[in-house]
A and B are shown apart, each in its own frame.
Chain A
Amino acid sequence: MIKVEQISKSFKGNSPVDSAIATSVLNGVSFEIARGDFVAVMGPSGSGKSTLLYSVSGMDRVTEGQVWFDGVSLSEMNEQSLSGFRLNKMGFVFQNAQMLKNLSIFDNLILPGLVAKKEKPQVIRKRAKDLMKRMDIDGLCGRDIREVSGGQLQRASICRAMINNPEVLFLDEPTGALNSEATDQVLDILEDLNGEGMTIMTVTHDLRVALRAKKVIYLRDGAIAGEKELTAGGNREQALDDWLKGV
């Protein structure tokens, strides 16, 4: 479904000295994500995890290489087409649930659906209600985003990401700002969604998140240091822990 081919990404600083030197963040990264996959990207701070996520999702341009989505090159799309692509085929969840302050939680959820205009507003509203019920936040419809907890807001973010029935869900440290209880709730939901066929790519520091994935990619200094398929059954935690120590 997603094919990442030798992508590199470098930045130039603002100062006269820095602008002359490009800092390389990703160096020739390649991997594939199959439909229905659940990929967790791990690595130390500054290893390029978030840059990889935003490059794969077309939110950021790569310096070199190609990202293919169902055979279509995201690298060659213009901004307008990429926006449409994000709206219709991708869902995003960020570390700090980013929502529009001037809309209620419910309206934040349905906004991408109404903008996409793929379905009737009633259908979108019903789906939003169903998703909220499923995430156990159906009582928060009219609430202001500042009136709910971080966990509730993050679940609402997942609902928003799901509103247009995306083909893939991108998550950036989805549990970074949550307590353990809220983390478990969010991870259960992600696992369920993946079980239903949703493709997921997440960036995380958290071992608990990686444990729910089917594949873990470990990034170091902008390059893939190792990839591990996590098989069902057995002591996944121990296996992952051992692999991380060795990678």
Chain B
Amino acid sequence: MKLLINLVRKDFKRNPAITTALVVFLILAALLMAGGLRVAGTMISAYDQLNQKAIPPEYLQMHKGEYDNEAVGHFAANQDGIQDFLTVEMLTINNASIIYQGETLEKVLMDNSFVVQNVGFDYLLNMDNQVATVKPGEVGVPVYYAEILGIAPGDLITLKKDDYIKDLKVATIIRDAQMNVAMTSSKRFLISPVDQLELSQKMGEWEYSFQFLLKEGVDTGVLEQAYQSANLPANGVAITGSLLNLYNVFSYGLVAMIIVAISLLLIFMAMLCLSYIIRATMAEEQKSVGEMKAIGFPGKSIEILFQMKYLTLMAVAGIIGYLGAIPFGNFFSEAVVRYCGTGSSPGLIWGLPFLGMFFLSGMVAFGCHRVIKKNLNNTVMELLRGSGGRRREGHYTLPSSGFKYPNLTIAIGELGCKWREYGVILVVFVISAFLILLPMNMKNTIQDPSFITYMGVGESDIRIDVHFSQQINQQQDQVLKVLENDPEIEKKAIYKNGYLQAQTKSGEWQSIRVESGDQSVFPLVYLEGSAPIGSNEMALSYMNASELEKKIGDVLTVEYGGETMNYTIAGIYQDITYGGKTAKAAIDYRNEDVEVYILYLSLAEGINIDTKTNELREALPNIKVTPVPSFITQTLGGIVNNLSQVAAAAMAIALMISTLITIMFLKLIMAREHSAIAVKKAIGFTNRDIRIQLAIRILVILCLGIIIGTVLANTLGEAIFSLMLSSMGASRMTLLIQPLKAYLISPLVQLLVVAIAVIGGTKAVKHYHIKEQIIE
């Protein structure tokens, strides 16, 4: 051990730049590997524990309006696959009636309902992941609100309608495995049965959720099929457990997933640099290997000695990386922990990073083995001369007309000869540009007003929802009256949404959500085909078209009100709302079958959306009025915020890595080219000239890296983004790029940072004394 420590100490003394670079990269790789795995471990463990404790349903059917409780109970009792059944009675209260710290929850676009604790499954948990309980006069508030509004235990929530006022004291913050995240557009408050009864007599509308827990191995599709066929209450969306999972994972798992993905990219980058540095250090070690070989050391012993040296360094880096990963991992797991808890598998959180360190050590040992084995194949003389296995560089030709810009010509010429050496830094710059651009472009895309088209509607400014209630017709009339002759509204359209039964290819029936209204007012861009015209055409969302196996021109048989109709598929569009499964057709819904009337408004030029929203909210107190830009950001919930966080973190990491690697790379290059630098100085090049030449080489590579990174972010990145959203119903995403940010500001920032690194990294040229180098 002492011998190894001495060897390492001597390495630092003899070749400080290269050895430092090696150690920095080992630490970086260890930190990223352990950090990424810690985030992944925390995410898996936390999500798993939440689901174990809360036991969310595997299939649920929402319903508004009257229903036959016995029929549902009978259905549940007679289905073989059902393990447990539950009817959750949710008292939906208008956001304008929920007041926190003097402000209504209208700005929050969630649907809020007040429920009592369930029995059997689908529990609402407290922050210790125990089944939450509240006494009369108390309320459990969703963790989502604790996060966005800062609601804390002890605060007061006031419910108010006309003269009725009810104060509820926040007793606990609750985790809801089903509706935790921003992407599920409803949130559940936990209250006592006494309070629920009292409230229901004063305010709110009942909504029901029929929830099913399935026996092991039973497919949700089978239950869905059976439920839809049994003609049971279905005036609302049907949700499968996998969709809930998807929402959850997509929401709070997004940051963790992106961090893990970024870590993987960075680990790849660090491994690449590591292998380069091992090769570089081993090139410097050739003489030592030659000397050992000359005095008869067996090849295996030489290999073990060097491997032990690198593994000693790796052990130090591993410990630092593992310890550093604790705050690093905790920072990026914060959202998961808040929403799901700390989890029940500490082994995953602590063990995965540990395994990562073993894997990394294996990689280092393997890297050394390969390089040393290659070196040992050379003769002693080749090794002593340092010429063993060194790749011969090519030539460049000086211009016959002389130099116009000598430094530029020389730098480009040398770069052409040594381009292989620059492969590593090119990859680093490509990944950096990619890391900076992709999250930024993703965020811009989601924030762009035209993103609404991925939500199944054309661009508009305000959305008004009139949900099913006893007074739905009056409410609709009230809305139309308010909007009538309003000069600030440029155009408007009303859409009725309800559910029909559609026949699948195998002849079975399934419920689909169909929107009926004039599709020409807010035209959508269709993936294929066009908007439905007339009474016999229908447009399907991409996911419905895939699931029903329908193409343009195919006929879909639907059943509504006891009547069977055939619709020709006219268009396919992208939609990420309602699980991605929607349709558009002219359906003459009976009033009681309309789940919701949605009005879209486009405002006249210069009219402020928020001001108009507030005005309409005052005029329509019991109706949900939503500004569309906020609708997008709130529906995609924390994702935009998360993406902003990720974009900032990715940018910081990318710039830090670019700086670090540029400096290290320059140190390596200068160490390897010391004799060329000396020759140049001897024949009259100034320090400045040499620094400029090094800078040009790096900056040319950087520009190339930025170009490749940008192209990749726009192509591969777009594919990744599409893949992320395809499970939600958007198959073909186009990244909406802000050219100023993407093509000017971020490359300039990268250029600036690398330029500063080059200035710092080449400073050492000044201290290169020609004499010492030439004598050496």
- Chain A interface residues toward B at CB < 8 A: 14, 50-51, 54, 59-60, 79-80, 83-84, 86-88, 92, 94-95, 98-104, 107, 110-112, 114-117, 120-121, 124-125, 144, 146, 160, 172
User: Does any Cβ of A come within 8 Å of B505's Cβ?
Assistant: no
A120, B401: Cα distance in complex, Å? 8
Q: Is the CB of B771 within 8 A of A59?
A: yes
- Which of B395, B418, B682, B689 contacts A144, CB < 8 Å? B395
- Which of B680, B685, B771 contacts A50, CB < 8 Å? B771
- Which of B394, B399, B684, B774 contacts A86, CB < 8 Å? B684
A99, B676: Cα distance in complex, Å? 7
For residue A103, which residues in chain B have a CB less than 8 angstroms away from its CB? Answer: 395-396, 398, 413
Known: A101-B676, A160-B683. A60 touches B769 (CB 8 A): yes
- Name the residue among B13, B403, B688 with the largest chain A CB count within 10 angstroms: B403
- Which of A54, A59, A121 contacts B402, CB < 8 Å? A121
Q: Per-residue 0/1 for B355-395: is the Cβ within 8 Å of any A Cβ (1 yes, 0 no)?
A: 00000000000000000000000000000000000001111
Known: A94-B774, A144-B395. A115 touches B414 (CB 8 A): no
A160 → chain B, closest Cβ, in Å? 7
Q: Is the CB of A120 within 8 A of B402?
A: yes
User: Does any Cβ of A come within 8 Å of B397's Cβ?
Assistant: yes
- Name the residue among A50, A94, A98, A110 with the largest chain B CB count within 10 angstroms: A98
User: Does any Cβ of A come within 8 Å of B406's Cβ?
Assistant: yes
Q: Is the CB of B774 within 8 A of A172?
A: yes
Q: Is the CB of A102 within 8 A of B414?
A: yes
For residue B400, which residues in chain A have a CB less than 8 angstroms away from its CB? Answer: 121, 125
Q: Is the CB of A60 within 8 A of B676?
A: no
Closest B residue to A50 by CB, please name it: B775
- Name the residue among B395, B678, B684, B775 with the largest chain A CB count within 10 angstroms: B684
Chain A to chain B contacts (Cβ below 8 Å), 25 pairs: A50-B771, A59-B769, A60-B770, A60-B771, A80-B688, A98-B678, A99-B679, A100-B679, A101-B676, A102-B394, A102-B396, A102-B413, A102-B418, A103-B413, A104-B395, A104-B397, A110-B398, A111-B398, A114-B398, A114-B403, A115-B403, A115-B406, A121-B399, A121-B401, A172-B774
Closest A residue to B774 by CB, please name it: A94
Q: Is the CB of B678 within 8 A of A83?
A: no
For residue B766, which residues in chain A have a CB less than 8 angstroms away from its CB? Answer: 79
User: Does any Cβ of A come within 8 Å of B261's Cβ?
Assistant: no
A172, B770: Cα distance in complex, Å? 13
Q: Is the CB of B394 within 8 A of A115?
A: no
A54, B681: Cα distance in complex, Å? 12
Q: Is the CB of B686 within 8 A of A107?
A: no
For residue A79, which residues in chain B have a CB less than 8 angstroms away from its CB? Answer: 686-687, 766
Q: Is the CB of A54 within 8 A of B770?
A: yes
- Which of B398, B399, B685 contacts A83, CB < 8 Å? B685
Q: Is the CB of B398 within 8 A of A59?
A: no
For the complex of A and B, the 3 pairs showing the least CB-CB separation, nearest first, are A87-B684, A121-B402, A54-B771
New A-B contacts (7) at CB < 8 Å, excluding given A103-B396, A125-B400: A59-B681, A84-B686, A102-B394, A102-B396, A104-B395, A115-B406, A120-B402
For residue A14, which residues in chain B have a CB less than 8 angstroms away from its CB? Answer: 13
A5 → chain B, closest Cβ, in Å? 20
For residue A80, which residues in chain B have a CB less than 8 angstroms away from its CB? Answer: 686-688
- Name the residue among A92, A110, A172 with the largest chain B CB count within 10 angstroms: A92
Q: Is the CB of A117 within 8 A of B774?
A: no
- Which of A84, A94, A100, A124 contacts B684, CB < 8 Å? A84
A112, B400: Cα distance in complex, Å? 14
For residue B399, which residues in chain A have a CB less than 8 angstroms away from its CB? Answer: 121
Q: Which of B199-227 contact A (CB under 8 A)?
A: none
User: Does any Cβ of A come within 8 Å of B469's Cβ?
Assistant: no
Closest A residue to B683 by CB, please name it: A112
Q: Is the CB of A111 within 8 A of B683?
A: yes
B654 → chain A, closest Cβ, in Å? 31
A117, B393: Cα distance in complex, Å? 28
For residue A50, which residues in chain B have a CB less than 8 angstroms away from its CB? Answer: 771, 775
A125 → chain B, closest Cβ, in Å? 7
User: Does any Cβ of A come within 8 Å of B746's Cβ?
Assistant: no
User: Does any Cβ of A come within 8 Å of B316's Cβ?
Assistant: no
Q: Per-residue 0/1 for B654-684: is the Cβ within 8 Å of any A Cβ (1 yes, 0 no)?
A: 0000000000000000000001101111111
Known: A54-B771, A59-B770, A60-B770. A98 touches B398 (CB 8 A): no
User: Does any Cβ of A come within 8 Å of B764's Cβ?
Assistant: no
